Structure 1
Amino acid sequence: MSTTERPRILVVGGGYVGLYAAKRIMKKMRYGEATVTVVDPRSYMTYQPFLPEVAAGSISPRHVVVPLRRVLPKAEVLTGRVTTIDQDRKVAVVTPLVGEAYELPFDYLVIALGAVSRTFPIPGLAEQGIGMKGVEEGIGLRNHVLEQLDKAESTTDEDVRRKALTFVFVGGGFAGAETIGEVEDMARDAAKYYSTIKRDDMRFILVDAADKILPEVGPKLGTWGKEHLESRGIEIYLNTSMDSCVDGRVVLKNGLEVDSNTIVWTAGVKPNPALARFGLPLGPRGHVDAEPTLQVKGTDYIWTAGDNAQVPDMAARKAGVENAWCPPNAQHALRQAKVLGDNVISGMRGFPQHPYSHSNKGAVAGLGLHKGVAMIVMGKMKIKLKGRLAWYMHRGYHGMAMPTWNRKIRVFADWTLGMFLKREVVSLGALETPREEFYEAAKPAPAPAAATAPAEKAKAS
């Protein structure tokens, strides 16, 4: 970390909003006008809409992450966490990955911590559940599912086999529906290479407490998506929830009980709980309360946006929808980040702030290879697509929304190669414990048993 006499713009969080806001600020500010510092526990940003395809092996995991230092070469990038913020002194406390915490002064502050998985105190969930918020989880889920097929092929115990081939997904929004669609596709392909496993031997279960799945694309497309997944043999249970999953014994509210080694939790998100330690005004669900200008309420030097912010949806309110808030999706995060960056520059120079307003352009979702749903909003007209065309819309939109041309090209290259080459179905589960084999080879050999004394040998004979 360098010391500087220039004003410091501190960006807390290096996710979608943090990356794009910092990039916008550095593009707009004059040479030497300020120092931009980005603090995040990871040195890269993850494009989360592609995690289901990472789990299915359609995209290389390295291609859905963007290294912060490469994209922001003129910014300070600190790998650590901001644990507290003293607004009176304008000082943040940074805890790095190693070493002692230290104070970091700032003049302007951007809160972009994003969201974390929304969980409930369900017995067994912490021990058994698999989330889908990070690229590590996407890689882990892929390896885990393929490992279950390996286990089922190798065992003669029917109970072990049945448990390995049962996959439970909790949450029917974008993350849940897309992930189960992609993983089922991958497992169906992988089963071709196992002599004793067929798709009919596997059991895929999707559970949601709501009365529909994919609410983001509307009721008609949501119903089509449900029927499509069911036609592929996926069991869908709505208006129900999971009561417990201790030791893989999944108990649902509707009375169904199954044993499963794979419990994927995608039941929504919540604002990062670290926000509670920053002394900022929070909404009823823990979001930072923001003005339409993306300034934190009651301040003129703090801005926020994205999943951790409660931002008024001015376009919806102009259309007559009261108390409308911007939903937590990539569409809003990208556009908010640009307005936020411009407003930080304006605030630093003493110019007026501009409100954020964006009309919803629709939503797209992929449900596996060549399958998807899409709702495109054009003015007052809504175009609804399903099947292969919607899948092309899904890939086209997210492919172009992926940050940097470097990553766009790599993602499209993965897709292009996938048209001609068969899907990889190898599990690399040892990635999670890479030193285990070396440890076994290097650990000291046990001491040999003491030799029996000659007198004792003679006595024994």
Structure 2
Amino acid sequence: MPKILIVGGGYAGFYTAWKLEKQLRSGEAEVTMVDPLPYMTYQPFLPEVAVGSIEPRHAVVSHRRHLKTTNIVSGKVTYIDHASKTATIAPAAGEPYEFEYDIVVVTAGAVSRTFPIPGIADQAVGLKTIEEAVYIRDRMLTNFDKASTLPAGPERDRLLTVTVVGGGFAGIEIFAELRSFASALLKKYPELSFEDTHFHLIEAMGRIMPEVSLPTSHWVIKNLAERGAEIHLETQLSSAVDGRIELSTGESFESDLIVWTAGVMANPTVVRHTDLPIEERGRLRVRADLRVGTDEEIVEGAWGAGDVSAVPDLTGAGVGGYCVPNAQHAVRQGKLLAKNIIADLRGELPRQYYHKSLGAVAGLGLGIGVLQSGKIAVKGVLGWFAHRGYHGLAMPSWERKWRVLWGWWNNFWLGRDIVSLEAVQAPRAAFEEFAARPKPAVEAAPAEEPKKPVRAKAAKEPAEVTAK
């Protein structure tokens, strides 16, 4: 049987494996998927995870639960040598080894792209993983707990100041959700007032959310301003050393929570360690039919999709002629990729990827959202329902859908859970603090040299000598 190796288990990789399982004939191919994580993260839900609207485990999809016949390998592919059709796999435990394949599918996704701004690497957190979303939630709740015990002053202001860098969809959603979350938390913290909380979004361009129309983006800015949030347009972050934010405008302030959402880049672990063709922006060079190569030359047995690949956008709407890195494209590319691989195995021609964007939806906090589809814009409560409706249905598998929907239903009646579990970052701390330890061994005293025996004076009877 041909061996198919899928590198990465995110949107594109998971959907490719999922659809291959459903469409391959018995014995037609053997599929292996390699990913360091045991799940696929539904990234549009990360802002809601960060504010407690969705439980973290409900926003991920288990590989082993939903992929029945795919061989799952927990590890990383550290090199792809397509000339010899081998990949080096570094498993989660054990020594690296060579894996021979017939077809390779590169769907390794993207990671946060940062710039060498002082302090960012040490102080900021991204929003690409479920762990980052959980960290943001626990950090914010813990900061509220700390601030409630402090008098008004610089230290309390720092704890209650949130800074988001990047005004794209991800940045605006996490910014707006955190602002909404903070306003709701104030009801539980009578020691704090609305004026104590400060929210800043920093965007280098002259507008936010390029996926929506300019009037819609202006409405979002106005709505956030009315809710006490401040957006700094045409402003760059100069420094974040020790949490002190310095802007290109000369403004500065202290912030304890800094979230970085200013761009992504193709996973460097893969694209920098392969003989497959890479384009000038560091992404895998892919044709419109998702085969690796160019219009003139095809790399046989190699396919790519998702954020790691530069897939041509045949609709003409893509930036620079390529599909933008988002979930809408990655999911559909993964589904088509499975069909094209099967078509190729059966001697048929693959189809080209063509998808015209259905629009964009964003959640801006409980009861507030926007929907942009062509020239149609829906804002407010209807936009929020559109956001939840679209993503609730787009979540893979009915098992995951029901978990998300059930969580939303419970929160509607019971409210969001506001317990911080920040201590989970160091789960053994409490145990170590009180754990009994063996006492250090007492060193034995050095033995004294025996004294020489004392010879008794001559007597009628020999004297008894005792050596001390």
TM-score, scaled relative to structure 1: 0.92
Identity of aligned residues (%): 46
Superposed displacement of residue 237, structure 1: 0.2
State yes or no: 1:211 paired with 2:217: no
Match for 2:276 among 243, 263, 280? 280
Superposed displacement of residue 26, structure 1: 1.6
Q: How does 1:318-329 map to 2 (within 5 A)?
A: 324-329=321-326
State yes or no: 1:242 paired with 2:243: no
Q: How does 1:122-137 map to 2 (within 5 A)?
A: 122-137=117-132
Alignment check: 8 A CA contact 1:140 1:429 kept: yes
Q: How does 1:342-353 map to 2 (within 5 A)?
A: 342-353=339-350
Q: How does 1:172-321 map to 2 (within 5 A)?
A: 172-274=167-269, 275-297=271-293, 298-316=298-316
DSSP-derived class of the 1:301 partner:
strand
DSSP-derived class of the 2:316 partner:
helix
Alignment check: 8 A CA contact 1:117 1:268 kept: yes
Alignment check: 8 A CA contact 1:192 1:198 kept: no
Superposed displacement of residue 347, structure 1: 1.6
The unaligned stretches of length 5 or more in structure 1 are: 1-5, 449-461
Alignment check: 8 A CA contact 1:282 1:289 kept: yes
Superposed displacement of residue 178, structure 1: 0.4
User: Which 4+ stretches in 1 moved above 4 angstroms?
Assistant: 445-448
Match for 1:423 among 416, 427, 446? 416
Query: Counterpart in 2 of 1:395?
Result: 388
DSSP-derived class of the 1:141 partner:
helix
Match for 2:329 among 316, 322, 332? 332
* AA at the equivalent of 1:290: V
Structure with greater helix share of residues: 1
Match for 2:368 among 367, 371, 378? 371
Structure with greater Cα Rg: 2
| 2: CA distance, partners of 1:323 / 1:354 | 22
Superposed displacement of residue 31, structure 1: 0.3
| 1: CA distance, partners of 2:141 / 2:377 | 35
DSSP-derived class of the 1:277 partner:
coil
Alignment check: 8 A CA contact 2:83 2:275 kept: no
| 1: CA distance, partners of 2:319 / 2:217 | 25
Query: Counterpart in 1 of 2:109?
Result: 114
Superposed displacement of residue 369, structure 1: 0.5
| 2: CA distance, partners of 1:366 / 1:156 | 34
Which range moved further: 345-354 or 395-404?
Answer: 345-354
* AA at the equivalent of 1:182: E
The unaligned stretches of length 5 or more in structure 2 are: 442-468
Which range moved further: 321-330 or 199-208?
Answer: 321-330
Q: How does 1:33-44 map to 2 (within 5 A)?
A: 33-44=28-39
| 1: CA distance, partners of 2:438 / 2:52 | 40
| 1: CA distance, partners of 2:165 / 2:124 | 10
| 1: CA distance, partners of 2:247 / 2:92 | 40
Superposed displacement of residue 86, structure 1: 1.3
Alpha carbons of 1:151 and 1:323: their partners in 2 closer, same or farther (altered >3 Å)?
closer
Superposed displacement of residue 159, structure 1: 2.1
State yes or no: 1:435 paired with 2:428: yes
Superposed displacement of residue 190, structure 1: 1.1
TM-score, scaled relative to structure 2: 0.91
State yes or no: 1:10 paired with 2:2: no
- Deviations along 1:118-174, whole A, 9 cap, x unmatched? 100111111100110000000110000011111111224722111111111101111
Query: Counterpart in 1 of 2:81?
Result: 86
Alpha carbons of 1:190 and 1:108: their partners in 2 closer, same or farther (altered >3 Å)?
same
* AA at the equivalent of 2:274: F
| 1: CA distance, partners of 2:415 / 2:393 | 25
* AA at the equivalent of 1:395: R
| 1: CA distance, partners of 2:166 / 2:313 | 25
DSSP-derived class of the 2:419 partner:
coil
Aligned CA RMSD, in angstroms, stands at 1.7
| 2: CA distance, partners of 1:134 / 1:212 | 26
Aligned residues: 437
Alpha carbons of 1:322 and 1:198: their partners in 2 closer, same or farther (altered >3 Å)?
closer
Superposed displacement of residue 325, structure 1: 1.3
| 2: CA distance, partners of 1:323 / 1:410 | 38
| 2: CA distance, partners of 1:86 / 1:324 | 28
| 1: CA distance, partners of 2:75 / 2:29 | 21
- Deviations along 1:162-197, whole A, 9 cap, x unmatched? 111111110111111100111111111111111211
| 2: CA distance, partners of 1:193 / 1:201 | 14
Alignment check: 8 A CA contact 1:272 1:308 kept: yes
Alpha carbons of 1:337 and 1:193: their partners in 2 closer, same or farther (altered >3 Å)?
same
Superposed displacement of residue 314, structure 1: 1.0
| 2: CA distance, partners of 1:186 / 1:157 | 21
Alignment check: 8 A CA contact 2:82 2:276 kept: no
Alignment check: 8 A CA contact 1:217 1:373 kept: no
Alignment check: 8 A CA contact 1:249 1:258 kept: yes
